[in-house]
Amino acid sequence: MATDALSLAFAALADPTRRMLLARLAQGATSVNELAAPFDMSTPAVSKHLKVLERAGLVETGRLAQARPRRLVAQPLQAAAQWLEVYRPLWEARLDRLDGYVRELKAAREQGGNGPPGAKRPGRAGAPPRSPNPPRKKRS
């Protein structure tokens, strides 16, 4: 089970309902009843999701007279964003290479070719690939 803060945050964020609850709390503190209203779930079910978010440090419960408004805590989200940011250059480089390849394909097609130089041409459907040297017949 995840115990460090970042693992708890990512585990909590893995559920789409919890992400929607966080999106609502980003607009301001609110009660469990108000959070449950747009969902087809009971307030106890929403409360269970909120407990997971609280354990991850993403939500805290306030006290306002008898009300217990929930509010978003941004710090764990910032930590998750910083962790993800480390991988941004990797994904940008991969997407840039993909974009370059797609542009080459498009340019080759516009010029009437089948693809960029060195690109593999599609094989025959269902046929095994051809070998460069056909097998020799055995001598009897």
Distance CA 107, CA 53 (A): 49
The ranges assigned to domains in the chain are: 5-73
Between helix 5-13 and helix 75-85 the angle, nearest 10°, is 90
> Distance (Å, rounded) from C-alpha 50 to C-alpha 110?
54
Neighbours of 47 (CB within 10 A): 15
Q: In a structure prediction context, what are the per-residue pLDDT tens digits for the chain, which is 140 residues long?
A: 456 889 999 999 999 999 999 999 999 999 999 999 888 889 999 999 999 999 999 999 887 767 788 999 988 888 889 999 999 999 999 999 999 999 999 999 988 866 566 656 555 555 556 656 666 666 65
The residue among 134, 132, 133, 107 whose CA lies nearest residue 119 is 107
pLDDT number for residue 127: 56
Q: Choose which CATH entry (1.10.10.10, 1.10.357.10, 2.60.40.1080, 3.10.20.30) describes domain 5-73.
A: 1.10.10.10
Residue 39 pLDDT: 84
Angle, CA of 47, 48 and 52, to the nearest 5°: 115
pLDDT at 125: 54
Separation CA 78–CA 84 (nearest Å) = 10
Q: What is the pLDDT of residue 1?
A: 46
Other beta carbons within 10 Å of 8 = 19
DSSP designation for 118: T
pTM of the entire predicted model? 0.63
The 8-class DSSP code of residue 91 comes to H
